[in-house]
Chain A
Amino acid sequence: MSAPPASLGLGAPGVESRVSSPMLLWLAGCLAITMLLTGASLIVGTSSIGTSVGWLLAPDAQGSVILWQIRLPRTVGAWFAGALLGLAGAVAQGVFRNRLADPYLLGTASGAALGVTISLLAADTSIAGLAWMGKIGITGAACIGACAAIALTIMLSRGVLQTANLLLAGIVVAFLLSAVTSLLLLTKPEIWRAMQVFLLGSTGYLSWTSATLLGIVFCVCIVPAALLARGLDALSLGEDTAQSLGLSLPMLRLTLLGVLSLATATAVGQVGIVGFVGLVAPHLVRETVTVNHRQLLIGAPLCGGALLQAADLVSRWIIRPAELPVGAVTACVGGAYLVFLLWRRSRDE
């Protein structure tokens, strides 16, 4: 790989990694926004705000179910899914040393979509398929599909050493699996609507079980990622420099790609393909504070979580009681933000 861009906005290895005051302020702000969004999510839904507040103050049986079994797990789950995507985005951009890298770079989205298509087809065509589908569900099928795609990508690139090969293999796998998905969809157009929902993301059915699973995976992913943050700092200076600092690049890449895969596959399995969160969250952090990778790997998940929470809120508010696909909302917001960045860059130049 070529040398990294001159301005990565990252601290060099050896730079004091203690959290700076602006970063602390930033983290506090992000947490405050998350708390606000969580509160708002309890009163935004298909009922009027007055009714929701009434449920909060004096809940009846139905109000309790809607507040604590539907709205709260939905927003908590959305936060964790966004956090996983933010983390995966930061890891991907660090490992590939490319600011345009996103969590779906290794073919996860296409693999998940294929997994879902196969499961929907199976459920629609045979009793055995229906039973199989009942056991693993759409979320399981998406997760298996995403993992299989990553395995295929790594196999095609013959390991994780060459990032250029990995990127190419990821693109090939994504195209290949998308083509298979399209062919399968042609045979059974009835499942297209369900697929569309998956492809545009949905937080509608996040339960406490889903939120717990997302939370556990987030904890499992954030620890090794944070521990290897200094490795990413070193890698940002170039592979040769990183190796001269005594880093084992294969081990670093393998572990971080494991984190990336697990985080993305779990998030995609639970909320479908939500675009732009993984790409935009690290950018948002870098644009507001100067960070090294350890801080970025903490900031990007917080930012991603708040982003998806906000998108979820918007998706269920605008055309209530119907709702927009959450991925369409994130794409609009994320796209607008990237256009803003481009505009600002051209203005500065």
Chain B
Amino acid sequence: MKARGWFAGARIRRGACGDWETLASRAAVLDLPAEAGRALAAHVASCARCGAHARREERLTRLLAGLPLPAWPIERPILPPAAAAVAAQAGGDPSMPASGAALAADRARRALRLAPIPTLALVLLILALLSIFRRPAHPTWRLALVSPAGAVTPAWSLAMIGASVEPPLLGESLHLLVDGRDVTAASDVTPDFVLYTTSDPLPPGEHLVAVEVRDRNGAPIDEQLWVVTSEPERMVR
């Protein structure tokens, strides 16, 4: 109860004019924020300087919140074209590969699966001939997130992030990035696998995991992204 006496003499700054006011000492001092709010509102209504300040603040809010949203250009698809094509074919299959090369390979596989046998033989023959006469600059890799299962990890334990690459790399290198940070140096890397164990549990929320294939000069030539969710205990199934 002694505290009431201490609060009784509290002073509040009233507004933009910098005036101070001592609040009356009565039971209402226990409700100081509300009392202060009422005193401020009454002051702003009567003080020209504070009134103008309040109007400026209001205009600034209207100016910021009233800006039109930028329009999405019609000619620009929501997904990159290759991804959109696979999405349309997959009918919402969430295991869609991301990189351009992987998407093209995936599309070709689907097309081949549906093609009649003579067409299939012809296509295979053409591909074989092409592979003899024109070797691609680099093979197409299939990058897959192996761990954590379902891209979900519990937030109370260390996370193991693993990705596989197929076919195995020959001269290229595999790099793992978590939320933009290259953690390859702290990972176990083989020609067809990279595994990273975090030193602390991942904070709850979504984390961006990227695996990059880089050529001998260190330039990225293929990449795949996943969102890994670190979930508190009660949410993990």
Pairing of A with B: no
